[in-house]
Amino acid sequence: SVEALSADADLVHRAESLLAGAIGSASARVMVASVVEEEPLGIDEVINIIDEASQVLAYSRQLEQKSRELEAATNELRGANQRLQELDRLKDDFISTVTHELRTPLTSIRAFSEILNDNPRLEESERTKFLGIIVKESERLTRLINQVLDLAKIESGAAEWHSSEIDMREVLEDSVTAVSQLFKERKIDLTVELQQKVPGIVADRDRLMQVMLNLLSNAAKFSERVPGKVTVSLAQQSGFLRVEVSDNGIGISAADQEVIFEKFRQVGDTLTGKPQGSGLGLHISRRIIEHFGGRMWVTSRSGEGACFSFTLPLARGLALVKAA
């Protein structure tokens, strides 16, 4: 009969092990002993069993929480490692691209310098032409180096920003004056449409001049139609000043309208198939505008010109700047 069966040691140990995982080893031992010895459990023993089971449950929850935290930390480290690998790849791409961009003007400068050196009797018109190319490529090289250094400072947080109250009308007028000769040489009509009264903003005047000169130079560069036309406008819009530089040039396809704001990414001239510039100007310009809380974008269609726009937040408490 069941009553005649003696307690098997292995069976008892097995039962204690299974119960220990749920209610604790001490409580499991008490319960198994109670069953084996056919003795009822006292109230104190029941309370102890409940207490130990509660502790085991609490420890189990803590372990589960630690396990989740460990898993989250592991995923975070894995993501950080992937980002570091991506940054390393981008760094290699950046160095490779910079090296290529520097080599291009240097190759031209060296080639034409050697021609001039090896041919002292070269016709004056040819000498003038080659010297012009050398000067142009030297300027391009200087501009590229300055842009790379500027970008490195901005991305590392080491760029210097000298913010003050600014009259955006004056920034646009001075920018237009600075490029007026370029537009005359290329026979491009430059129209300025400025709102009569605009609030002041707080920003770095030199940096905004840098942005405007880049946009105007790009507009002139790609406005090869006759007659070329570029329009600069300024207006106030619900807490922002909005500046637009539009042209009637070759335009930009929808697929390229974000690409052109990336580092070293350019849109080739549809006539020559060759990109113009370093591919850093628009990227730096957007970073400058974003630094001051604004936004920059382009709207365009291929063959129908382009309109580059950016907004800057108004400075609270500044009076309206009246046109003279």
Q: Which pLDDT value is given to residue 233? A: 96
Q: Is the pLDDT of residue 174 over 90?
A: yes
> In whole angstroms, what is the distance from residue 76 CA to residue 73 CA?
5
Chain-centroid distance of CA 14 in Å reads 62
Tokens of 261: 């704001």
Q: Which pLDDT value is given to residue 312? A: 95
> In whole angstroms, what is the distance from residue 312 CA to residue 199 CA?
11
Residue 42 sits at φ, ψ, to 5 deg, of -80, 165
Average pLDDT, the chain: 80
* Higher local confidence (pLDDT), 30 or 280: 280
**For residue range 35-68, what is the model confidence (pLDDT) as tens digits?**
555 556 556 665 666 666 667 677 778 888 888 8
Task: With 0.85 as the threshold, say if the pTM is over it.
Answer: no
Tokens of 147: 């842009």
> Which residue pairs, CB below 8 angstroms and at least 24 apart, start in 101-107?
101/144, 101/264, 101/278, 101/279, 102/141, 102/144, 102/145, 105/137, 105/138, 105/140, 105/141, 105/144, 106/137, 106/141
Q: Which pLDDT value is given to residue 5? A: 45
Residue (of 120, 217, 123, 127) closest to 176 by Cα position: 217
Q: Is the pLDDT of residue 180 over 60?
A: yes
**For residue range 290-305, what is the model confidence (pLDDT) as tens digits?**
999 999 999 998 888 8
State the angle between helix axes of 9-23 and 25-36 in degrees (0 to 180), rounded to the nearest 10.
140
pLDDT band (50, 70, 90) for residue 250: confident
Q: Which pLDDT value is given to residue 150? A: 85
Q: Which pLDDT value is given to residue 272? A: 38
Query: Which of 141-150, 260-269, 291-300 bottoms out in mean pLDDT, i.e. has the lowest?
Result: 260-269
Q: Which pLDDT value is given to residue 185? A: 86
Q: Which domains does the chain have, with CATH numbers?
A: 42-159 (1.10.287.130), 164-322 (3.30.565.10)
Q: Which pLDDT value is given to residue 145? A: 85
> In whole angstroms, what is the distance from residue 215 CA to residue 221 CA?
10
Query: Which of 128-137, 152-161, 173-182 bottoms out in mean pLDDT, i.e. has the lowest?
Result: 152-161
Averaged pLDDT for residues 236-260: 89
Q: Which pLDDT value is given to residue 306? A: 92
Tokens of 315: 């400075």
Provide the residue type at 181 as one letter. Q
**For residue range 64-101, what is the model confidence (pLDDT) as tens digits?**
888 888 988 999 999 888 888 887 776 777 677 777 77
Q: Which pLDDT value is given to residue 8? A: 61
Q: Which pLDDT value is given to residue 275? A: 45
Provide the residue type at 35 as one letter. V
Q: Is the pLDDT of residue 3 over 70?
A: no
Averaged pLDDT for residues 102-109: 85
